[in-house]
Amino acid sequence: MSTRYLTLTTSCPDRAGIIAAVSGFIAQHGGFIVEASYHTEQEAQRFFMRQEIRADSLPFDAGEFRYRFVTLAQEFDMTWQLSDSAIKKRLVILVSKQDHCLDDLLHRWRSGELLVDIPCVISNHEDLRGFVEWHGIPFHYVAMPHNNEPDKAAAFAEIARLFDEVRGDVMVLARFMQIVPPDLCTRYAGRIINIHHSFLPSFSGAKPYHQAYHRGVKLIGATSHYISDELDAGPIIEQDTVRIDHGDTVEDMVRYGKDIEKAVLARGLRYHVEDRVLLCGNKTVVFR
């Protein structure tokens, strides 16, 4: 049986005594801290902290922890949350036609590497229905008109309805080749993760491998980031690159890129699921 943990993440204006106060609160209740990470963002003068606590070392459950912690959180003007490892986050995957990222995520889920529940997959194409349903996961097709904005708005409203209906915690755009409208970016801020097939901020938008090829770059990459109302400009979670040379074609770059995209998306999602990512404006603090 795996050990159960409560994960406490906090951010607040930086000042003396934060670590002592939080650790003291946990210690006075017999809590056993197994992992602790801290960071001060100097420019913002904001302090970030993540602590994992053995659930069986506390005399109360997560609900009681939250109730008792409120006073301390208010004293330090904290933004905070407490997660219970026994409650898996609910992941809703959005995909279009390219299946490499979806395939990788479902493999990691089936093997137990990615500890989430997947209540459904949503797509604007029918192509991957059989593959998804073979995994025993409900598949929802939502038509996405190319140039009809009212119909496109209705399609995204349906996606939001499905996400809320299955009580989704995080939405992953696994090569979902549509631009999410600003209202959904705001509504689910910090809860929608995209994989972009370039090393942002270089080559945002469409066909980044073609852009990279014509620019003659020697490195290509992929970026996992939260979406915002500015295209491909949301807070970055994880990135990686691979070296290329003058002999590589666009097709070669696409092939290399698929491997990077899968790895970068999986790492970024795992950091999110494990509550290792804290937002600081348009940046992230990632406690690996």
Predicted TM-score (pTM) of this structure: 0.95
DSSP assignment string, 171-191: EEESS--SPPPHHHHHHTTTS
d(CA 38, CA 43) in angstroms, rounded, equals 16
For 232-267, how does the pLDDT look when each residue is reduced to its tens digit (9 = 90+)?
889 999 999 999 999 999 999 999 999 999 999 999
Q: Which of 34, 68, 84 is where one domain is finished?
A: 84
> Is the peptide bond preceding residue 59 cis, with omega within 30 degrees of 0?
no
For 53-63, how does the pLDDT look when each residue is reduced to its tens digit (9 = 90+)?
999 999 999 99
pLDDT of residue 135: 97
Q: Is the pLDDT of residue 1 over 60?
A: no
User: Do 252 and 199 belong to one domain?
Assistant: yes
H/E run at residue 109: helix 100-110
User: Do 273 and 191 belong to one domain?
Assistant: yes
Q: Is the pLDDT of residue 229 over 70?
A: yes
**CATH code for the domain in which residue 138 is found:** 3.40.50.170
For 88-104, how does the pLDDT look when each residue is reduced to its tens digit (9 = 90+)?
999 999 999 999 999 99
For 207-222, how does the pLDDT look when each residue is reduced to its tens digit (9 = 90+)?
888 888 899 999 999 9
For 63-97, how does the pLDDT look when each residue is reduced to its tens digit (9 = 90+)?
999 999 999 999 999 999 999 999 999 999 999 99
pLDDT of residue 203: 81
Q: Is 236 helix (H, G, I), strand (E, B) or coil?
A: strand
User: Do 156 and 261 belong to one domain?
Assistant: yes
Task: Determine the average pLDDT of the residues in 22-36.
Answer: 97
pLDDT of residue 199: 85
**CATH code for the domain in which residue 68 is found:** 3.30.70.260
Per-chain mean pLDDT for the chain: 95
Give the range of the structural domain holding residue 214, as residue numbers without chain letter: 89-286
pLDDT band of 282, cuts 50, 70, 90: very high
Q: Sheet with 192-196: list strands edge to edge.
A: 139-141, 116-123, 89-95, 170-173, 192-196, 219-226, 236-243
Residues whose CB falls within 8 Å of the CB of residue 214, separated by 6 or more in sequence, listed in order: none
Is residue 100 classed exposed, middle or buried when 0-12, 13-18 and 19+ CB atoms within 10 A define those classes? middle
Closest CA to 123 of 146, 95, 104, 162: 95
User: Do 113 and 57 belong to one domain?
Assistant: no
Residues annotated as part of the active site: 232
User: Do 179 and 229 belong to one domain?
Assistant: yes
For residue 141 the two structure tokens come to: 């097709």
What is the total count of domains within the chain? 2
User: Do 177 and 39 belong to one domain?
Assistant: no
For 115-155, how does the pLDDT look when each residue is reduced to its tens digit (9 = 90+)?
999 999 999 999 999 999 999 999 999 998 877 677 789 99
d(CA 281, CA 260) in angstroms, rounded, equals 26
pLDDT of residue 148: 65
Angle of the 250-273 helix axis to the 208-215 helix axis, nearest 10: 130
User: Do 174 and 65 belong to one domain?
Assistant: no
Q: Which of 30, 54, 84 is where one domain is finished?
A: 84
